[in-house]
C-alpha cells in the first residue's frame, strides 16, 4: 500500500536531515516529501525577525496544497510538531494521521519559552533574547541531539543553521488541542532521553495518543533511521 509521508524537521535542521529515512521509504513505494521551514536549511537566507509559528504553519499548509497532497501522514520532529499541530487544525481534510517524533508538545497560546525547564537550552535562549541584534540562535553541537558518531556529528554540524529566535517566543496559534482530534502517535527517543518519561506519559494520557519507543537519541532520523523507517512503515 502506497502512503504519502510529509517529514518535517525541527529547530536548527532542514529537510536535509531526513535523507536516511526518505530514500528507504521511497524504495518501499511510498511518496515522501521533506519541506524546509522558512529561515532554515537551504532557506536560511530568509531568516527574519518577523518569522513566527504562523509562518511555519503556513509553510506546511502551502506545501500540502501546492504539492496536492492528501491522505498524508505528517511526521513532525521536535519543534516541527508545532507546525504539524497547526496544519492538523487548518487542513484536516488533507491528513490521514500525525506522528510526533520526540516533540515538545505545546498547546494553544503557549510558546517554547513557556515549556522550557531550567537548563542549558533555557539559559542560551534567555541570553540570546537579551541581545538586541540577534535574529537566530546558533545551533548546539549535534551531541545535544544524541549524535555521537564522529562522521554523523560532522555531517549534521555542517548543515545546522541558526534558528529564528522569534519563533521560540511566538505563541502557537491553534484553538483546540494539539493534533486537532486526528489520529496521532508519539514516538519517544529514549537513549539518551531528550524528554522526561513523566512528560511523555502526561502528554499521551491527556491527548489519548499511543506511544512508541526508539532506543536512540533525539535525532533518530540520523542515528537510527532503519528503526524509524520500520516504525513509520507499520
- Look up residue 175 and give its three cell numbers: 484553538
Of 48, 78, 85, 166, which one is the catalytic site residue? 78
Strand order in the sheet with 31-33: 31-33, 4-8, 72-77, 95-101, 184-189, 210-214
Return the residue matching grid coordinates 522569534. 166
Assess contact for 156 and 12: CB atoms under 8 A.
no
Q: Whole-angstrom Cα distance, residue 134 to residue 131?
A: 6
| 198 sits in which H/E element | helix 197-207
- End-to-end C-alpha distance for the chain, whole angstroms: 11
Q: CA torsion sign, 64 to 67 to 69 to 74?
A: negative
Assess contact for 119 and 95: CB atoms under 8 A.
no
| 20 sits in which H/E element | helix 19-27
Assess contact for 5 and 33: CB atoms under 8 A.
yes
78 counts as catalytic: yes
- Look up residue 11 and give its three cell numbers: 529547530
Comparing C-alpha atoms, which of 3, 187, 156, 232 is closest to residue 81?
187
- Which residues participate in catalysis according to the annotation? 78
Amino acid at each position: 500500500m502506497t502512503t504519502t509521508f510529509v517529514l518535517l524537521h525541527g529547530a536548527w535542521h532542514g529537510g536535509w536531515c531526513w535523507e536516511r529515512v526518505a530514500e528507504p521509504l521511497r524504495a518501499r513505494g511510498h511518496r515522501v516529501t521533506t519541506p524546509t521551514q522558512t529561515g532554515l536549511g537551504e532557506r536560511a537566507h530568509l531568516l527574519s525577525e518577523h518569522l513566527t509559528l504562523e509562518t511555519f504553519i503556513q509553510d506546511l499548509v502551502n506545501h500540502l496544497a501546492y504539492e496536492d497532497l492528501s491522505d498524508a501522514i505528517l511526521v513532525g520532529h521536535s519543534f516541527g510538531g508545532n507546525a504539524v499541530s497547526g496544519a492538523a487544525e487548518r487542513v484536516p481534510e488533507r491528513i490521514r494521521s500525525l506522528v510526533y517524533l520526540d516533540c515538545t508538545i505545546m498547546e494553544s497560546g503557549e510558546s517554547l519559552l513557556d515549556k522550557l525547564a531550567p537548563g542549558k537550552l533555557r539559559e542560551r535562549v534567555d541570553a540570546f533574547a537579551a541581545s538586541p541584534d540577534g535574529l537566530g540562535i546558533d545551533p548546539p553541537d549535534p551531541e545535544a541531539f544524541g549524535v555521537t558518531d564522529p562522521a554523523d556529528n560532522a555531517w549534521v554540524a555542517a548543515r545546522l543553521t541558526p534558528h529564528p529566535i522569534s519563533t521560540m517566543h511566538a505563541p502557537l496559534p491553534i484553538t483546540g488541542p494539539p493534533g486537532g482530534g486526528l489520529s496521532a502517535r508519539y514516538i519517544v527517543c529514549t537513549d539518551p532521553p531528550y524528554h522526561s518519561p513523566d512528560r511523555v506519559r502526561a502528554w499521551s494520557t491527556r491527548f489519548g495518543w499511543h506511544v512508541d519507543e526508539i532506543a536512540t537519541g533525539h535525532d533518530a532520523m540520523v542515528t537510527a533511521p532503519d528503526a524509524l523507517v520500520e516504525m513509520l512503515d507499520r
